[in-house]
A and B are shown apart, each in its own frame.
Chain A
Amino acid sequence: NAGVTQTPKFRILKIGQSMTLQCTQDMNHNYMYWYRQDPGMGLKLIYYSVGAGITDKGEVPNGYNVSRSTTEDFPLRLELAAPSQTSVYFCASSVSELNTEAFFGQGTRLTVV
């Protein structure tokens, strides 16, 4: 039972480069989320999806894009990486957003230099 799987675990990017953070879940959850975690700042929601083909912005969406072509996958795209995007990124999923448990992946630590 894999749950939420994120790849890669670590990545170093140069300023201006692009990359995609992968996220897949095998729990058949409709809702998926991307958060970033910065020291002393908690978790900030970047984007979320309520089902295949539907995405919406969270609190801090600038510099990111997402897509949801299947129930299982929810990749996060960084275009033109900036040092401010250095962070730990977490993908999560839940059965619904109606006050149910969110399951998190193990995170991707991204450094932009």
Chain B
Amino acid sequence: QQQVKQSPQSLIVQKGGIPIINCAYENTAFDYFPWYQQFPGKGPALLIAIRPDVSEKKEGRFTISFNKSAKQFSLHIMDSQPGDSATYFCAASRYGNKLVFGAGTILRVKS
């Protein structure tokens, strides 16, 4: 059972564009929603995370938007750069439980 659905599978944008990656979850008990970034040949690394008591969180060029009623959250990358080219994973967990990951989105930013 896929508890976190992520889309799109891949995404190509021009430098300076704003790629948006979407995730939807089923379990209303989830209360922690992180995004991980993975470069080729490396392990995933935490990029940014949000809890359901806020609708938006920004860290530098990265923004998470959260819609609790729709059970959806998304990652926006402002002024995207070729160095942002990576695979991005959304995830979710319920307090005291393990992370459930989405299938991943391969992002390519063209210079």
- A residues sitting closer than 8 Å to B (CB atoms) are 4, 33, 40-45, 48, 58, 90, 92, 97-99, 101-107
Give which listed residue, A43, A58, A103, A106, contacts B89 with CB less than 8 A.
Answer: A43
B 1-38 binary contact with A (CB < 8 Å = 1; else 0): 00010100100000000000000000000011010000
Residues of chain A with a CB closer than 8 A to B101's CB: 42-44
Count B-side interface residues using an 8 Å CB cutoff.
25
Q: How many A-B residue pairs have CB under 8 A?
A: 51
Closest 10 CB pairs of A and B: A104-B43, A99-B32, A42-B101, A43-B101, A42-B103, A101-B46, A104-B44, A106-B43, A90-B43, A105-B43
A-B contact pairs, 29 of them (CB 8 A): A4-B43, A33-B98, A40-B9, A40-B103, A42-B89, A42-B102, A42-B104, A43-B44, A43-B89, A48-B98, A58-B98, A90-B43, A90-B44, A92-B43, A97-B96, A98-B95, A99-B31, A99-B32, A99-B93, A99-B95, A101-B49, A102-B46, A103-B45, A104-B44, A105-B43, A106-B41, A106-B42, A107-B42, A107-B43
